[in-house]
Amino acid sequence: MIEDVLSNIERFGSGQAVLRTEDESLLKGEGQFTDDLSPQGLLHATFVRSQLPRARIVSIDTSAATAMPGVVKIATGAELVAAGVGHIPTLPELPDGSRPNTPVWRVLATEQVRFVGDAVAIVVAETLQQARDAAEAVMVEYEELPHAVSIEAATAADAPVLHEGASGNIAAQTRYGDAARCEAAFQDAAHIVQVDVRNQRVVALPIEPRAVLAWVTEDDRLTLRMANQKPSSIRTDLAQNILGVPRDKVRVTIGDVGGGFGLKTHLHPEDGAVAWASWSRE
């Protein structure tokens, strides 16, 4: 049997060094990432983001920002909903068949912001600096609401509910195994050890941040160049859930991707907002 294993290793190359073909261009600085592309007529987008962990959006005034130099388009979450923009798909069910209490995840926040950095408006301008300047001129009035930032505080009996329908701030629960046998095992155990483990906040931090470039081709197809690892599912989500168009109207392409670590495997709200801004091209 050992001889057969060794023969297969020699035959199929299992466990042997693999000749890499992708390194040379990257080591020579010749890689092509999303930001390396600069098509004619390129516009830049940025977002107005909440500085509060939780608040009701009272009003958003974009009039001053809209009149600023280079500004092409400004849209709020409510305006995107009115334009028929859908929402980010969430997990439909758990492995045990139960359905989670997942709220609607909009491309831009509408009635409330629920975390620091929650985007409430997209600003599109001729240059990135013009977009940033206009975003600072968007006036948002908030009514601050109670919030909880730890699991213990969020699941306490008197915790403020972040999303209606998710009682106790719990989106989903699932159980595995035989509860009775598990309880019996604990009853018969000579010793029971309990520990609370607190992990630091972990953030995926690739060399290349998330990026998306969107344009409409001559054959009336929305084309996106993204730093993403799952272009097929991104195309489906954009077409069916965000824009409400046939899948063949959307094309997603990927160039070099500077790291992912799970960050670039699904559609993010900013991706949907940029795609809509290009597709609507008012």
Mean pLDDT for 103-126 is 96
Position 29 in a domain: no
Q: What is the pLDDT of residues 131-143, one digit of tens each?
A: 999 999 999 999 9
DSSP symbol at 130: H
Q: Tokens 């155990």 — which residue? A: 189
Structural contact between residues 44 and 212, judged by C-beta atoms closer than 8 angstroms: no
Number of structural domains the chain divides into: 1
Mean pLDDT for 185-194 is 95
State yes or no: pLDDT of 17 exceeds 80.
no
Average per-residue pLDDT for the chain: 91
Position 99 in a domain: yes
Position 70 in a domain: yes
Position 86 in a domain: yes
Position 42 in a domain: yes
Q: What is the pLDDT of residue 7?
A: 62
Position 193 in a domain: no
Is the whole model's pTM more than 0.85, yes or no?
Answer: yes
The size of the chain, in residues, is 282
Position 75 in a domain: yes
Q: What is the pLDDT of residue 214?
A: 97
Mean pLDDT for 173-177 is 83
DSSP symbol at 253: E
> Of the candidates 88, 83, 119, which has an alpha carbon nearest to the alpha carbon of residue 102?
88
Give the other-Cβ count within 10 Å of 10's Cβ. Answer: 10
Residue 42 pLDDT level (bands cut at 50, 70, 90) = very high
Name 140's bridge partners: 60
Q: Tokens 């995926």 — which residue? A: 204
State the CATH number of the domain containing residue 67.
3.90.1170.50
Residue 14 pLDDT level (bands cut at 50, 70, 90) = low
- Residue 158 domain boundaries: 34-166+173-183+209-280
Residue 78 pLDDT level (bands cut at 50, 70, 90) = very high
Position 203 in a domain: no
Residue 10 pLDDT level (bands cut at 50, 70, 90) = low
